[in-house]
A and B are shown apart, each in its own frame.
Chain A
Amino acid sequence: MSANIVALLYLVSAILFILALRGLSSPESSRRGNILAMIGMTIAVATTVVSLHITHVTSYGAILAAVVIGGGIGLLIAFRIKMAAMPQLIAAFHSLVGLAAVLVAAAAFYHPEAYGIASASGQIETASRIEMALGIAIGAITFSGSVVAFAKLQALVSGNPVVFPGQHILNLILGLVAIGLIGFFVKTQSTEVFWIMTALTFGLGFLLIIPIGGADMPVVISMLNSYSGWAAAATGFTLENTALIITGALVGSSGAILSYIMCRAMNRSFFSVILGGFGGEGAGPAANKGDRPVKAGSAEDAAFIMKNAGSVIIVPGYGMAVALAQHAVREMADILKEQGVKVSYAIHPVAGRMPGHMNVLLAEANVPYDDVFELEAINSDFRTTDVAFVIGANDVTNPAARDDPSSPIYGMPILDVDKAKTVLFVKRSLAPGYAGIDNDLFYNENTMMLFGDAKRMTEEIVKAL
């Protein structure tokens, strides 16, 4: 197989990947898109194997074993994972891409001739050294950053931000040292510098993510997604492989766009999220504004109100995911619909721990996707709605973000649930949400608090209906 045919086949697989992403513009076309991506991957791997087979003496046994073991583990995880655990799975997958990029770069470092990047004297070409160093650095940061994100999401460590004095200065210095080491490596191609650089960037990825709190994870996951793409692209430059360059660029820009969308939905700059320290217990101004009367209700009250309503909008948040309440919520919605109530769902972009988290959970519970609306699409409907049923969301409904310029979350787009005739708010206590600020909605005349576990409360409402 000539090098030209190989390059054209890689182009075909890159185009199939683009079509796969294009398919995600609607649920109907998305499934076909995913199949196209699988075909693209098969073409890329087959092309590589065949072209290696022609030019080299190859041994397939160990390769096949690695694919079977890795693929088996992957399939096992994919079919067993609970949808609620999807954020940590995505984080774990990102870490693997990062580590693979580091390993490939290390392999190319030790055997440049296999990759065709060695000059006549056996040295690695300068351009390839730069690409290799970038692949290592970005890959290592992706790996260790994703491991921290995984540990936070899996609750292996506290989701609170870890901050210490001088943190940003330390990170800045380490970042500069890393850049210096990359320069030094490019100049000398020294093995010691290669490994010091690798170790340092591993450490840097770890330090970069520890100060970022749990509810900023949608940004972190998107950002690491982007990094994994740039790492793949840098590796693609080293290997002079267009499929890898194009794919890395696609993934890199995809993650960057998602990060931007998430930041915009919180009205925060990307840098304020990355610098971290936001949220967690004890963060933000004191929540206590004195004792104010709160109207608390029972499941029977809630059932009565919703049964007699003309329309209900359900507002799910991370709390619903934690309590695994999505099936109970759908059951409740079904009963209400049978009784002639119009039920829809309103989703804030940063609800949950990753982009689209709530949509996946509702889809898992068999909620039809045409009942589920994004913020812009549904926000004006609240003022004509009888009941807003808030389950597990908090800050994204706080009217202070709209009305109180002194609030730390002022300017964040919120769901205008307070405009509904009645607000039913399922929550365990009056504790403030992630931003650490009080939600005035709790004390409104038209709000009824339903204190309890999201799942149990919803199940009781179902019983009472």
Chain B
Amino acid sequence: MEAVAIDPFVFRFSIFVLAVFVGYYVVWSVTPALHTPLLSVTNAISSVIIVGALIAAAPTAFTGSKIFGLVAIGLASVNIFGGFAVTQRMLAMYKKKKK
């Protein structure tokens, strides 16, 4: 039988499905008191979409894609810097009882 190469999509899909499961178990262990920081930090990390924007904005040639990419970089940067900073600010407020 001739060997057939596995489509790389299947690899990526496997990674995706496994990551959904990792997310499922990790998020159930998040304490309800920190659900708001969870929202803000997931927001910040999903802005890793900036890597896609960088690819679009990188070429020197000035095209429509470059403009899309630059705007997307700006939007994602708002989220990355804003999201991490506001999460840090919130988390710094959670204090234990003074004994």
Contact = CB atoms under 8 A, between A and B. Distances in A.
A93 B56 contact: no
B31 A96 contact: no
A24 B85 contact: no
A37 B84 contact: yes
Interface in B1-52: 8-9, 12, 15-17, 19-24, 26-52
Given A239-B55, A355-B35, A66 B70 contact: yes
A241 B46 CA distance: 13
Nearest to A125: B9
Interface stretch (A248-256, A401-409, A435-443, A456-464): A248-256
Residue among A18, A104, A115, A252 with most chain B CB within 10 A: A104
Contacts of B28: 257
Nearest to B51: A48
Interface in B66-99: 66, 68-98
Interface residues of B, number: 82
A414 interface: no
Interface of B: 8-9, 12, 15-17, 19-24, 26-60, 63-66, 68-98
24 contacts: A17-B45, A22-B26, A24-B34, A31-B88, A31-B92, A68-B77, A71-B81, A79-B85, A89-B82, A94-B43, A96-B76, A101-B49, A107-B64, A107-B66, A127-B9, A229-B42, A236-B16, A237-B9, A239-B52, A245-B16, A249-B17, A250-B42, A251-B42, A354-B35
Interface of A: 13-14, 17-18, 20-22, 24-27, 30-31, 33-34, 37-38, 40-41, 44-45, 47-49, 52, 56-59, 62-63, 66-75, 77-79, 81, 83, 86, 89-90, 93-94, 96-97, 99-101, 103-104, 106-108, 110-111, 114-115, 127, 221-222, 225, 228-229, 232-233, 235-255, 257-258, 261, 347, 349, 354-357, 359-360, 363-364, 366, 368-372, 374
